[in-house]
Amino acid sequence: MKTILIIDDEKPILDALAAVIEYEDYRTITAQSGREALAVVEGGALDLVLLDIKMPGMDGMEVLRKIKVINPSLPVIMVSGHGNIRTAVDAIKEGAADYIEKPPDADGLLFRIGKAIREAELLRENRDLRQRLGSRDRIVGSGQAMCAVMGLVEQVASTDVAVLITGDNGTGKELVARAIHNASRRGGCPFVDVNCAAIPHELIESELFGHEAGSFTGATQRRLGKFEQAEGGSIFLDEIGDMSEAAQAKILRVLETREIQRVGGAGKIRLDVRVIAATNKDLPAEVARGSFRQDLYYRLNVFPIRAPSLSERICDIPELALYFLDCFCKENDLKPRKISEDALACLKTLEWPGNVRQLRNFIGRLAILSKDGTIGAEDVLRARESVRVSPEKDISEECRTFEEFKEEAEKRFLVRKLAENEWNIKKTSEAIDMQRSNLYKKIEKYNLK
């Protein structure tokens, strides 16, 4: 049975409201002052509060603010015999779920109570779901490469400047974008992601900016575009390098004016949206070829962040593998699996051209194939052909002479060992038994980064 706290300084009104509410099988608690009411709220176990605005001493607005401090998710419906639009707006801004005038219609009151309770329950369910699944959005990795990325995220999150995230496919560019959004003042507002490469050219304007009913064939009703859906929050333009030239011009105009116009609309709509973009392309090279607008590139590239490939963060592979294994088992209702140290070491020796995404999928496959609950090195080796590329074969195909082959093999060996040791020159030189001065020369020779 749902419990509703009714707060009003006039006892006849309290009794009348309680009688109406209890008729619908709600349990009621009454209070005739703000202090009495707050004591009840602090005791917990409430599903909704019905709060009079005009009360002697502590008025309803002050009580509302204090309730929201004690229990932010508790829905509060404000009741007033002297209602006006401004009062209603102020109440909603302070966190009220609804606002009704005295004397309330019984059916209307019960409808609004039921609606407010259902919405509060839905919000709690969504919050719980986000907490259970939110780990999917967590950036995993304590190595130097990812610590550097998270340092940049922390620096830029408090601002509203545009961010351009670059990196190969599967490196977690969207996770970086979400981390920026979640750490910013916009964290409680929408995060809207748009795959620019997946939207047909003829629909890009409607998809991003929305349209009015009747603006084109099939537009039977108004539709809000992605930018409007992100109002107050952030829009993530993934694969921005694949956007058509016409769409690039429109995005540039939005960045410059902070306004959009729906397809078929007559007026401009002012926006408060942060833009985060990402691409796996070399945009300066695209600019040089004329396939990407230089002015848009400069607008987007205010704060660049590069998501490192998995080959640059080999030290993170064990941590990532354990994390993905735990997530996969929970999401698929599997019994917890373990992974041996030998298996983790084996994973570090493989090549991951698909980066973190490929590793995640591979761990899922291992979890399914595991029979005794523990994944060993032999399990990794049996499945390795789906992820492993033979360096010898690649080099022999790429190199024309034996000297080129030797240099390419040396270069790849040094890159892997440097990555394994987080690019610590001293540790790497000791690990491969090479003098530091010689290692520095090799790094300079091959322009390793």
pLDDT in tens, 316-347: 999 999 999 998 888 888 889 999 999 999 99
Q: What is the pLDDT of residue 62?
A: 92
Strand partners, 277: 164, 237
Q: What is the pLDDT of residues 30-84, one digit of tens each?
A: 999 999 999 999 887 899 999 998 888 898 999 999 998 888 889 999 998 766 6
Q: What is the pLDDT of residue 154?
A: 93
Specify the pairing of strand 374-375 against strand 259-260. unpaired
Q: What is the pLDDT of residue 125?
A: 72
DSSP codes, 325-380: HHHHHHHTTPPP-EE-HHHHHHHHHS--TTHHHHHHHHHHHHHHH-SSSEE-HHHH
Strand partners, 144: none
**Eight-state DSSP code of residue 307:** P
126-130, 163-167, 213-217 — which one is most confidently predicted on average?
163-167
3-class DSSP state of 131 = helix
Q: Between residues 5 and 429, which one has the greater pLDDT?
A: 5
Cβ proximity of 329 and 367 under 8 Å: yes
Cβ proximity of 306 and 150 under 8 Å: no
Q: How far is CA 164 from the centre of its chain?
A: 16
% of the chain with per-residue pLDDT over 70 = 93
Q: Backbone phi, then psi, for 370, in 5-degree steps?
A: -65, 130
CATH number among 1.20.1440.230, 1.25.40.80, 1.10.10.10, 1.10.8.60, domain 311-386: 1.10.8.60
- CA angle in degrees (0–180, nearest 5) for 187-206-165: 40
Half-sphere exposure of 386 (CA within 13 A, CB side): 11
Q: What is the pLDDT of residues 231-289, one digit of tens each?
A: 999 999 999 998 888 889 989 999 999 999 888 888 889 999 999 999 999 999 999 99
Q: What is the pLDDT of residues 349-386, one digit of tens each?
A: 898 988 999 999 999 999 988 877 899 998 898 887 54
Q: Do domains 3-132 and 391-445 have the same CATH topology?
A: no
> Which tokens is 240 given?
């921005």
Mean of per-residue pLDDT scores for the chain: 87
Q: Between residues 413 and 191, which one has the greater pLDDT?
A: 191
Burial class for 426, CB neighbours closer than 10 Å (0-12, 13-18, 19+):
exposed
* pTM for the predicted model, two decimal places: 0.60
Q: Where are the domains of the chain?
A: 3-132, 147-308, 311-386, 391-445
Q: What is the pLDDT of residues 102-160, one digit of tens each?
A: 888 898 899 999 999 988 888 777 666 555 544 556 889 989 999 999 999 999 999 99
Confidence of residue 220 (pLDDT cuts 50, 70, 90): confident
Q: What is the pLDDT of residue 391?
A: 44
For domain 391-445, give the fold: Arc Repressor Mutant, subunit A (1.10.10)
Q: Which CATH superfamily is domain 147-308 in?
A: P-loop containing nucleotide triphosphate hydrolases (3.40.50.300)
> Which tokens is 145 given?
């490469």
Q: Between residues 98 and 83, which one has the greater pLDDT?
A: 98
Identity at 206, one-letter amino acid code: S
Q: What is the pLDDT of residue 393?
A: 47
Beta carbons within 8 Å of 112's beta carbon, 6+ residues apart: 77, 98, 100
Strand partners, 15: none
Cβ proximity of 300 and 162 under 8 Å: yes
Q: What is the pLDDT of residue 153?
A: 95
User: Lowest-confidence range among 21-30, 180-189, 435-444?
Assistant: 435-444
3-class DSSP state of 185 = coil
Q: What is the pLDDT of residue 274?
A: 95
Q: What is the pLDDT of residue 104?
A: 84
Q: Could you give the CA distance from residue 436 to residue 430 in angstroms, rounded to a whole number? A: 8
Q: Which CATH superfamily is domain 3-132 in?
A: Response regulator (3.40.50.2300)
201 pLDDT exceeds 90? no
Q: Backbone phi, then psi, for 229, in 5-degree steps?
A: -65, -25
